[in-house]
Amino acid sequence: MLELIDPPQDTSSEPPRLRTEHPSVRTDRILFARCHAGDRRARDELTERWLPLARSVARRYERSGEPLEDLVQVSSLALIKAIDRYDPALGHAFTSYAVPSIMGELKRHFRDRGWVVRPPRGLQELTLRIERAVTDLSARFDRAPTVAELGTAIDLSDEQILEGLQARTGRYALSLQASTGVVGEQTALEHMLGSVEDGYAQAEMRAFLDDLMTGLPRRAREVLRLRFEEDLTQAEIGVIFDVSQMQISRIIRHAVHQLRGVADQHERMLGERIDRQRVPV
């Protein structure tokens, strides 16, 4: 039995099928060629054409706590860098190069500029992983996830989760001019945090005593240091100097009396100086 086979058709006379180029793609190709040739106007036109892409990528991180205007600015600068570095000869679409570049710049912005108090980089990355897990689990459970659920989702221990959650507070700062939140009051936070600092007065007194102590004999200075700084008893100081407790008591009493006299004289001289300055010329 013979099988009839159709003869092959001759397609050599058919014209080749040409791939139609979209007008916008052709416009971008021309603009990139002019831009890389040094045409600033073409660069500006490309920037205006692709700015909606930069804004779209920035809006993906709108819930990060950073102002959207700042994110758009970072994305726009990243877009300009992508335009300058893009090579159409490689055959890739501009979006496939620009989007990862813009996202990388945004992530660097969060890493370098998004922290008021910058923790180590490893802790920053841990915090970002936890924040992504919190967003995903909150949408899935319709509630805030627990520490155990976060640890299971990203394979971390409870201690690591708690450390990352605590580090998140370093990304933000509360203004001292912010309201305290008390209903009916307009008190600023800075008015609630103030306190009396007595350390300055103590430092000045210590410096003044150091000056006074220079006028005492070396043994008297050491006795006073052991008594009032090291908090030793007079008997213990007497053992160190191989003298009786009564002798140590006399040394302390005489040294304190001498210091008080010098201090009183200094105070009188200071008062007289102030009085002379107040007298009109």
Taking 90 as the threshold, does the pLDDT of residue 78 lie above it?
Answer: yes
Are residues 164 and 205 in contact, defined by beta-carbon separation less than 8 angstroms?
A: no
Rounded Cα gap, residues 176 and 123, in angstroms: 27
What pLDDT was estimated at residue 79?
93
Please tell me what DSSP assigns to residue 260.
Answer: H
Q: Hey, is 188 helix, strand or coil?
A: strand
What's the pLDDT score for residue 80?
93
| 50 pLDDT tier (thresholds 50, 70, 90) | very high
pLDDT for the residue 17: 47
DSSP string for 217-259:
-HHHHHHHHHHHTS---HHHHHHHHTS-HHHHHHHHHHHHHHH
The answer to whether residue 1 scores a pLDDT higher than 50 is: no
Give the model's confidence band at 180: pLDDT under 50 very low, under 70 low, under 90 confident, else very high.
Answer: low
Residue type, 57: V
pLDDT (average), residues 52-80: 87
Mean per-residue pLDDT, 50-58? 92
pLDDT score at 149: 92
pTM beyond 0.85 = no
Kindly indicate the confidence band of residue 20, based on its pLDDT and cuts at 50, 70 and 90: low
At 2, the pLDDT band (50, 70, 90 cuts) reads very low
pLDDT band at 53 (very low <50, low <70, confident <90, very high): very high
pLDDT tens string 206-242: 888 888 888 888 999 899 989 988 899 999 999 999 9
**Phi and psi of 94, rounded to 5°?**
-65, -35
pLDDT beyond 70 at 16? no
- Least confident range of 55-69, 81-95, 138-152, 176-190: 176-190
pLDDT beyond 90 at 173: no
- Enumerate domains of the chain plus CATH numbers: 23-113 (1.20.120.1810), 121-171 (1.10.10), 200-278 (1.10.10.10)
Region 108-116: what's the mean pLDDT?
Answer: 78
Taking 80 as the threshold, does the pLDDT of residue 182 lie above it? no
At 18 the pLDDT is: 45
Give the N- to C-terminal CA distance of the chain in Å, as an integer. 141
Provide the residue type at 254 as one letter.
H
pLDDT-derived band at 279 (thresholds 50, 70, 90) equals low
